[in-house]
C-alpha cells in the first residue's frame, strides 16, 4: 500500500480523490486550510512551509505520490488575484519542490497537479502574468492583471493554470524529475460540479457566463469521475505518462482548439 499527500482534500475533487485512495487501503496525508490532518493556509509562504514540513514528517521521508487539488476559483474581490496566484501556483510548486526528495525515495512516484481547461480557453491572458508566476515575482503578476479591473480574478485564474501546466511540463522532463522516476502530470478539468463551481453559479452574472460556455458533451463534470481519472494517473497503468496535461472537459478544449495540432 502507498502513501499519498493530497492538498485540497476537504472539498470537491481533492476530497473525492482522498476518499477513493483511502477506500483502496492507501495512507492519505490530507492537507487543507481546515478540516484536515495537516491544516495550513497555502496562500502564505509560512503556511506553505508548514504544510510541506508537516507532510514530510508524517510520511517518514517517502511519498509514493501527491495530488495537488487545493485551489481558488475566479470569484470577485480585490484581493482575489493575489490569493489565486498564491494558492493555485505557489501552493503547488513550493510544496512539490519541498517533497521532491521524498518522491524520489519512492522510485516510481506519481504526481497529479490540478490545472484547468481555463488554461487554453480564456483569451488574452497576459504572458507577463504567466512569466511572473514562473519567475516567482508576484508584483509583476499583479501589475500585469491590474488593467482587467473587476475581471482580474478570471485572468489571474487562467494565468495560474497556464503557469502551473507549463511548470509541470518543464519540470517533468528538464529538471531531473523523470530521471528520479517521478511521473509529474496535470489534469485539466472543465466545469465540474463542486463547491467551487457552485459558488460561481450562485452569482447570476457568473452563472450566465458559465452556462453559455461551450461543452459539446453537455452539462457539468462529476467530481467522482474526475477522481477516477486521478486515481488512474497514480496507478501502475500510468507508468508511461510523463509531462502530460490530460483534458477531461466534455470537449470544450477541442471545441476551441481543434486545429491546434
Ligand atoms: P473546491 O473548492 O471544492 O476544493 C478546493 C479546496 O482547496 C478546498 O477544500 C479549499 O479549502 C482548499 N483551499 C483553498 N484555499 C486554500 C488555502 N489558502 N490553503 C489551503 N487549502 C485551500 O474546488 P474543486 O472544484 O474541487 O477544485 C479542485 C481543483 O480543481 C482546484 O485547483 C481548481 O482550480 C481545479 N478546477 C476546478 C474546476 C471546477 O469546475 N470545479 C475546473 C477546473 C479546475
Sequential DSSP letters for 40-72:
--TTSHHHHHHHHHHHHHHHTT--SEEEE----
Q: Is residue 160 part of a domain?
A: yes
83 CA: nearest ligand 1 atom: 18
Ligand 1 center from residue 11 Cα (angstroms): 7
β-pair partners for 247: 188
Structural domain that includes position 56: 3-249
Q: What is the pLDDT of residue 206?
A: 87
Q: What is the pLDDT of residue 121?
A: 96
Q: Is residue 152 part of a domain?
A: yes
70 CA: nearest ligand 1 atom: 7
43 CA: nearest ligand 1 atom: 18
Angstrom distance (rounded) from CA 119 to CA 157: 8
For each of the chain's 261 residues, which pLDDT tens digit applies? 999 999 999 999 999 999 999 999 999 999 999 999 999 999 999 999 999 999 999 999 999 999 999 999 999 999 999 999 999 999 999 999 999 999 999 989 999 999 999 999 999 999 999 999 999 999 999 999 999 999 999 999 999 999 999 999 999 999 899 999 999 999 999 999 999 999 999 989 889 989 999 999 999 999 999 999 999 999 999 999 999 999 999 999 999 999 988
| Number of folded domains that form the chain | 1
Angstrom distance (rounded) from CA 2 to CA 152: 40
Q: What is the pLDDT of residue 107?
A: 87
Terminal-residue alpha carbon distance, the chain: 39
Active site residues: 157
Ligand 1 center from residue 68 Cα (angstroms): 9
Residue 130 beta carbon below 6 angstroms from any ligand 1 atom: no
Q: Is residue 256 part of a domain?
A: no
Q: What is the pLDDT of residue 149?
A: 96
Q: Is residue 222 part of a domain?
A: yes
Whether the predicted interface score ipTM is above 0.95: yes
Q: What is the pLDDT of residue 261?
A: 82
Q: Give the helix/strand (H/E) hosting 114.
A: strand 110-114
Q: Is residue 258 part of a domain?
A: no
Q: What is the pLDDT of residue 30?
A: 98
Residue 32 beta carbon below 6 angstroms from any ligand 1 atom: yes
Q: How many residues does the chain have?
A: 261
Residue 194 beta carbon below 6 angstroms from any ligand 1 atom: yes
The grid coordinates listed for 241 are 505518462
Q: What is the pLDDT of residue 250?
A: 98
Q: What is the pLDDT of residue 231?
A: 98
Of all protein residues, the one whose alpha carbon is nearest to atom 35 of ligand 1 is: 114
Q: Is residue 261 part of a domain?
A: no
Residue 84 beta carbon below 6 angstroms from any ligand 1 atom: no
88 CA: nearest ligand 1 atom: 32
SS3 183: strand
pTM of the complete model = 0.98
CATH number at residue 79: 3.40.50.720
Ligand 1 center from residue 15 Cα (angstroms): 10
Torsion (CA) 169, 170, 174, 180 in degrees, nearest 10: -50
Ligand 1 center from residue 71 Cα (angstroms): 4
Residue 14 beta carbon below 6 angstroms from any ligand 1 atom: yes
Question: Best mutation site among 16, 45, 71 for ligand 1, i.e. most ligand atoms within 8 A of its Cβ?
Answer: 71
Going by C-alpha positions, the residue among 197, 204, 201 that lies closest to residue 221 is 197
Q: Is residue 67 part of a domain?
A: yes
Angstrom distance (rounded) from CA 228 to CA 62: 24
SS3 225: helix
Cβ atoms 89, 160 nearer than 8 A: yes
Residue 197 beta carbon below 6 angstroms from any ligand 1 atom: yes
SS3 6: strand
Amino acid at each position: 500500500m502507498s502513501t499519498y499527500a493530497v492538498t485540497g482534500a476537504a472539498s470537491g475533487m481533492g476530497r473525492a480523490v482522498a476518499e477513493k485512495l483511502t477506500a483502496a487501503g492507501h495512507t492519505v496525508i490530507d492537507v487543507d486550510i481546515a478540516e484536515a490532518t495537516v491544516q495550513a493556509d497555502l496562500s502564505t509562504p509560512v503556511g506553505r512551509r508548514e504544510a510541506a514540513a508537516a507532510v514530510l514528517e508524517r510520511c517518514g521521508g517517502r511519498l509514493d505520490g501527491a495530488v495537488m487539488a487545493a485551489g481558488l476559483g475566479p470569484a470577485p474581490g480585490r484581493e482575489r488575484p493575489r490569493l489565486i496566484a498564491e494558492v493555485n501556483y505557489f501552493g503547488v510548486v513550493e510544496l512539490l519542490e519541498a517533497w521532491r526528495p521524498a518522491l524520489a525515495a519512492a522510485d516510481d512516484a506519481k504526481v497529479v497537479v490540478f490545472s484547468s481547461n481555463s488554461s487554453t480557453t480564456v483569451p488574452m491572458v497576459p504572458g507577463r502574468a504567466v512569466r511572473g508566476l514562473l519567475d516567482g515575482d508576484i508584483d509583476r503578476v499583479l501589475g500585469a492583471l491590474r488593467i482587467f479591473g473587476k475581471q482580474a480574478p478570471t485572468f489571474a485564474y487562467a494565468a495560474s493554470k497556464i503557469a502551473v501546466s507549463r511548470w509541470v511540463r518543464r519540470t517533468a522532463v528538464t529538471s531531473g524529475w523523470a530521471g528520479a522516476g517521478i511521473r509529474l502530470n496535470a489534469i485539466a478539468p472543465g466545469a465540474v460540479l463542486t463547491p467551487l463551481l457552485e459558488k460561481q453559479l450562485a452569482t447570476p452574472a457568473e452563472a450566465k457566463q458559465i452556462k453559455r460556455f461551450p461543452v459539446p458533451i453537455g452539462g457539468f463534470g462529476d467530481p467522482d469521475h474526475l477522481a477516477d481519472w486521478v486515481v488512474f494517473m497514480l496507478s501502475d497503468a500510468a507508468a508511461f505518462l510523463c509531462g502530460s496535461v490530460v483534458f477531461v472537459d466534455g470537449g470544450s478544449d477541442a471545441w476551441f482548439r481543434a486545429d491546434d495540432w
